[in-house]
Amino acid sequence: KHCSYCNFNKYVVPAVDEAAMGACLVHEVRTLLRLSQVQSITSIFFGGGTPSLASPGTIAAVLEAIAGGAHLHASAEVMLEANPRSTSPQRLAGFRAASVNRLSIGVQSLDDAELQLLGREHTEAEARGAVKAVQGLFPGRTSIDLIFGLPGQSRDAWVWGLEVALGLCDHHISLYQLTVERGTALVAQVCGGDLPTPPQDLLADMYHTACAMLVSAGFQHYEVSNFARKGALSTHNLSYWRAEQYIRAHGRFVPWGEGGCSREARVQTLEPNTWMQEMQSRGHGTRRRVVLSPLEQLEEVLALGLRTDEGVTHERWRHFSPNLSLEAVFGVLGETAELQQQGWLVLDGGDCFSPGGVRCRREGLALLDSLLPDLLCQLQR
């Protein structure tokens, strides 16, 4: 079923040939590992959509293929996304036996009326039961997703839901402001006047209130939408924000195996049946590949890195820009100086407590989308 707000690349079909799909996943994993010549894997992520509908055997086969093509660290994070209704004890035990060691549960809300508005199939009671069941098998490694800014949602209702979630959750929470996307059932209701659009000031208040509540509860606000305590940060998601190499539907890696020496952006074919046909004929379903220019790479490093509390460190910047330092780009008078004066941005050399670099202060993190255009213009100059 499609949720009312979801515009992901997701398909609702009466039946899936899981054996064929699994075989194609295994084949593509082997092909892309060979092309990238990646030697070491630090994290694996199954998502989005609902990969928990797959059988544990399919997940195990993919993991075996990865381990056969590169060194898989014993401490590697292997995370799988799940919806509450696909978390039976038997299925969860199967995933754990397959070497999954972290689960992210799409709770989204702990209010039945809000779940109905979002088009979710589960109830509040089912969400609670799923979280407890997952925590029993993956203690300390269970994350929950919540959505705020629903049409008609009040600040008090959001605070109440977050308090309930804090009493239920483990050590990781992801908070997402609802985006009304074109082509969804929700946008038709909003544009048709059936549902109200939340005021921007209310959305900002919801976000800041949630951040304060979670920090008070011992969570580190380590990324715009992500909070962790007791060191339970998501290794896999950090690899994106730190601009490391990754193989996925939209990947970034250097194809050493075919003679490449530059980082590429690779996009796999979206539609599953077409992707499977390409897999069977070519060995992979790469639809588009683009060699990223030095400027494009630095733009990604900046835009992604500033989402985190650590920002873009000098060391990471030098990896992509050995001849042009952060100070050379952002230490001059211009947009960056003004953002620093306003208390939104920090550029420092680091010390024994911090590696230094450029990062957003708490106030700037909430305004990142508004700050980035000026920063990117300064980088381009």
pLDDT digits (tens, 9 = 90+) for 265-321: 999 999 999 999 999 898 899 999 999 999 999 999 999 999 999 999 999 999 999
CA atoms of 329 and 222, how far apart (whole Å): 25
Q: Compute the average pLDDT of residues 73-83.
A: 96
Instruction: Give residue 200's pLDDT band: very low, low, confident or very high (50, 70, 90).
Output: very high
The pLDDT value recorded for residue 373 is 94
Lowest mean pLDDT among 191-205, 206-220, 232-246, 300-314: 191-205
Q: Walk me through the domains of the chain, giving residue ranges and CATH numbers.
A: 18-240 (3.30.750.200), 310-380 (no CATH)
The band of 7, judged by pLDDT with boundaries at 50, 70 and 90, is confident
Say if strands 102-108 and 71-82 run parallel, antiparallel, or are unpaired: parallel
Question: Looking at residue 224, what is its pLDDT?
Answer: 97
356, pLDDT greater than 80: yes
DSSP 190: H
Q: Which strand (E) or helix (H) includes residue 174?
A: strand 172-177
Q: What does pLDDT average to over the chain?
A: 93
Residues 6+ apart with CB under 8 A from 36: 245, 247, 253, 254, 255, 256, 257
Contact present, 91 and 56 (Cβ < 8 Å): yes
Three-state secondary-structure class, residue 100:
coil
Terminus-to-terminus CA distance in the chain, angstroms?
47
Please report the DSSP string for 217-272 in residue order.
TT-EEEETTEEESTT---HHHHHHHTT--B-STEEEE--GGGT--S-EEEEE-SSH
Can you give the pLDDT at residue 1? Answer: 78
> What is the C-alpha to C-alpha distance for residues 116 and 3, in angstroms, rounded to an integer?
9
Quote the CA–CA distance of 336 and 345 in Å, as a whole number. 7
Q: What average pLDDT score do residues 325-346 get?
A: 87
Instruction: Write down the pLDDT at residue 44.
Output: 97
Partners of 46 in the beta sheet?
80
Residue 378 in 3-state DSSP? helix
* DSSP structure class, residue 55: -
Q: How much of the chain is in helix, strand and coil states, percent to nearest 5?
A: 45, 20, 35
User: What is the pLDDT, as a whole number, of residue 229?
Assistant: 97
What CA–CA distance (Å, rounded) separates 381 from 372?
14
Q: What's the rounded mean pLDDT across residues 115-135? A: 95
In this prediction, residue 121 carries a pLDDT of 92
How many other CB atoms sit within 10 Å of the CB of residue 287?
15
**Cβ contacts of 265-274, under 8 Å, gap ≥ 24:** 265/289, 265/290, 265/292, 268/28, 270/9, 271/11, 272/11, 272/21
Separation between Cα atoms, residue 39 and residue 71, nearest integer Å: 6
Sign of the four-CA dihedral 192, 176, 143, 28: positive
> Residue 306 has which token pair?
């500033």
Predicted pLDDT at 336: 81
139 compared with 355, residue with greater pLDDT: 139
Query: What would the mean pLDDT of 10-28 be, rounded to a whole number?
Result: 91
Residue 350 has pLDDT above 80, yes or no: no
Average pLDDT over residues 22-38: 94
Q: How far apart are CA 287 and CA 305, in angstroms?
A: 27
pLDDT at 334: 74
**Largest interatomic CA distance in the chain:** 60
Distance CA 306, CA 372 (A): 9
pLDDT higher than 80, residue 345: yes
DSSP 3-state of 125: helix
Pairing, β 286-291 against β 264-268: antiparallel
The pLDDT score that the predictor gives to residue 36 is 94
Residue 40 has a pLDDT of 94
